[in-house]
Chain A
Amino acid sequence: MMERLMRIEIGRFAVVAILILALVIAALFLPRLLSSNNVLQVLRQASIPGVIAIGVTFVVISGRLDLSVGSMLSLCSVVLITVHESVSPVAGILAALAVGLAAGGVNGILVGYLGLNSLITTLGMLSLLQGIALVYTGGQNALIAAPSEAWFSVFGRGFLSGIPVPVIVLFVLGTVMSLLLTRTVFGRRVFAVGANPVAARHSAVPVRSVIFTAYLISGLMTACAAILLSSRVMAARLDSGSGYELTVLAGIILGGTSLLGGSGGIWRAIFGIVVLAFIQNALLLMGLPYYIQWLVTWTVIIGAVSADVIGKRGKVFAS
């Protein structure tokens, strides 16, 4: 038993150790990598997928997927920027939060209450929400006319005693949501639904509403990420969120949260996102073209999950 437990941990630990070792070696050759300026820069970039990952982790632990967050991020951003310009910054933020909650709610009804396959449903929502963003803006990107005068830029561009505001937001949201996941009845129910839905139902866990709420949280976190993103750019491209769903899932998988549900954690996901961000940053600092990071992401994900699976099985190949 003990031996088996150790084997499981060795597989996961090995990957993390190799990645950190690789980063340390990279730092020896690239002194800039670990300069405080660069570290804060990387953390600030990681904060947007990090905040989304907080929400998606709830969905993944409940045994479901959310691939719609990329388009949801785009839609929330264009709504935020256009309402910021036409009404007021506060109205823009509220509108983005409402859009995120509504989109998450639709996902939650379809997957939680109607029991549809979450992969295909949220793929459909990925397309649907991108289309709504296109129709809503008429194909135009949105931007804030006078970015230097708007206080809204504080979320993405501000610093609080030397630390970028998005990093602080990531830390605060991570702490609060981690408490929600690990210290409350709702949090334990999310794990129960993901680990064994039948047992959960027999134990009077309201499976449907737990899944629904997980998707609501995912939508809410994506809207928060949209606030950070559009405040950083002070504009919104129609497809600004495109691909974020992949970055977020890659980070969650790298952090060791099982896509089968029932296990995982918020800080693990954030850790995975931050490690990926550092790897990408190191590759760029080495002067490699940006698409090399996609090849590395491929290798890292397959390597990490392989080590995990092989560690659990204790044998290299499945029979």
Chain B
Amino acid sequence: MTGRAQSTTSGVSGVSTRKVFSVLRGNPTWLLALLLFVVFSFASPHFLTAYNLGNIVAQSALIGFLAVGLTPILVSGNIDLSVGSVLGLTACLVIGLQGQLGLPIAILVVLGAGAGLGLVNGLIVEKIGINSFIVTLAGMIGVRGLAFLYAGDTSLASPDFTLHDIGAYSVGPFSVISLFFLGSVAVFQWVMKRTLHGRNTYAIGGNRTAAVDAGVPVQRHVIINFILCGLMAAVAGIAIASDLGAATPSYGKDYELWAVIAVVLGGTSLRGGKGDLLGTLAAVIALSILRNGLNLVGVSPFFVPVIMGSALILVLLFDRLSSNRSHTAE
């Protein structure tokens, strides 16, 4: 309905409007983000400022990196619950190693560590054949142990502020970290929609047996997705370390929960085969607007987990009612 109104008012850019509308119709999460945006713009005078909008993107980046890495995993019908712990470990590693190795090498080592942990998860899931839920649930406990083992029971601070200064640099209202986040969305969207790896990931999630029969190297694609997910968790770890200039081994606790909420809210089906990065971006932004807006209008932060949990369950309900009317409870 809104689309018809839009296309009559902006006939010149009709094609692009239709495109925008098709994105909206394909994914109601953008409508949710838009609705929240409008509501909070009226509710608080501090909401609609360039500074605050930059803030919203910056606040969404940390969960966003994790959600970007998780999207292909969920599309292929798996899950990775270890990303919050990987974030904690890599944040500690980058702070601890930059004094010893210098920042560039420290970052490479930390990215390698994230990718390596993803490889371990992927190998256990595919080569041994254990449900990814069990593997990454155990990994979530174990990698947290690694973080504490490395850092001890304390927080690490760095005498060198280079990493912090890079993170604090901004272009217009957007911080460097925000730009990295938006860039990672673009790259992953391209990988999922335009490469063989992406298409095969959808095929595996849609019908794994059929993908195997069609000669798709299923194991390799799933393992690559776990590696990419670990890599993005390491990026998130570096980002949080850069943001705060310090790290404690408990960083990222419960973040896997928010990341899964964002990916599912963004329209990626848990049954696999469906979803993309634009949906994930919309959900990450919507959740960030919600957090930021509630804070600005003075709602107690205690309500945030209540609202997040309810939002997740409502999304599942909506998904159930709209796409699967004929199915009853299994």
Contacts and interface: CB of A to CB of B under 8 A. Distances in A.
A151 interface: no
Contacts of B127: 317-318
- What is the interface of chain B mostly: helix, strand, loop, or mixed? helix
Interface stretch (A33-41, A163-171, A297-305): A297-305
- What is the interface of chain A mostly: helix, strand, loop, or mixed? helix
Contact of B139 (A119, A298, A305, A318): A298
Most chain B Cβ neighbours within 10 Å, of A135, A291, A306 = A291
Interface string B277-296: 00000000000000000000
Interface stretch (A110-118, A172-180, A214-222): A110-118
27 contacts: A110-B317, A115-B328, A116-B313, A120-B260, A120-B264, A121-B313, A123-B260, A123-B312, A124-B312, A125-B309, A131-B302, A135-B302, A253-B134, A289-B148, A294-B141, A294-B142, A294-B144, A295-B142, A295-B146, A297-B138, A298-B138, A298-B139, A301-B141, A306-B124, A309-B130, A313-B129, A318-B129
Contact of A116 (B137, B142, B320, B328): B320
Interface string A78-121: 00000000000000000000000000000000111111110111
A116 B317 contact: yes
B79 interface: yes
A246 to B, nearest CB: 6
Interface of A: 65, 110-117, 119-121, 123-132, 134-135, 138-139, 197-198, 207-208, 211, 246, 249-250, 253, 259-260, 289, 291-295, 297-299, 301-302, 305-306, 309-310, 313, 316-318
A302 B313 contact: no
B144 A128 contact: no
Nearest to B153: A289
B257 interface: yes
Most chain B Cβ neighbours within 10 Å, of A111, A135, A302 = A302
B145 A125 contact: no
Contacts of A130: 305
B270 interface: yes
Nearest to A115: B329
B141 A120 contact: no
Task: Please give me the 4 A-B residue pairs with the lowest Cβ-Cβ distance, nearest first.
Answer: A298-B142, A128-B309, A294-B145, A131-B305
A250 B327 contact: no
B126 interface: yes
A48 to B, nearest CB: 18
A120 B305 contact: no
A207 B130 contact: no
B220 to A, nearest CB: 13
B257 A127 contact: yes
Interface string B299-330: 01011111111101100110010000001111
B130 A246 contact: no
A259 B142 contact: no
B329 A211 contact: yes
A115 B135 CA distance: 25
Nearest to A302: B138
Contacts of A127: 257, 261, 305-306, 308-309, 312
Given A125-B309, A246-B137, A114 B142 contact: no
A309 B328 CA distance: 31
Interface in B122-136: 124, 126-131, 133-135
B329 A120 contact: no
A291 B149 contact: yes
A292 B145 contact: yes
A291 B145 contact: yes
Interface string B100-143: 00000000000000000000000010111111011101111111
Contacts of A110: 313, 316-317
A305 B257 contact: no
A23 B119 CA distance: 31
A177 B316 CA distance: 32
B79 A301 contact: no
Contacts of B317: 110, 114, 116
Nearest to B258: A127
B145 A124 contact: no
Contacts of B300: 135
Contacts of B305: 127-128, 130-131, 134
B138 A301 contact: yes
B285 to A, nearest CB: 19
B128 A317 contact: yes
A265 to B, nearest CB: 18
Most chain B Cβ neighbours within 10 Å, of A129, A139, A295, A299 = A295
Given A131-B305, A297-B138, A302-B124, 19 more contacts: A114-B317, A115-B320, A116-B313, A117-B316, A120-B264, A124-B309, A128-B310, A131-B306, A197-B330, A246-B141, A259-B131, A291-B145, A292-B145, A294-B144, A294-B145, A298-B138, A298-B141, A306-B130, A310-B128
A306 B127 CA distance: 10
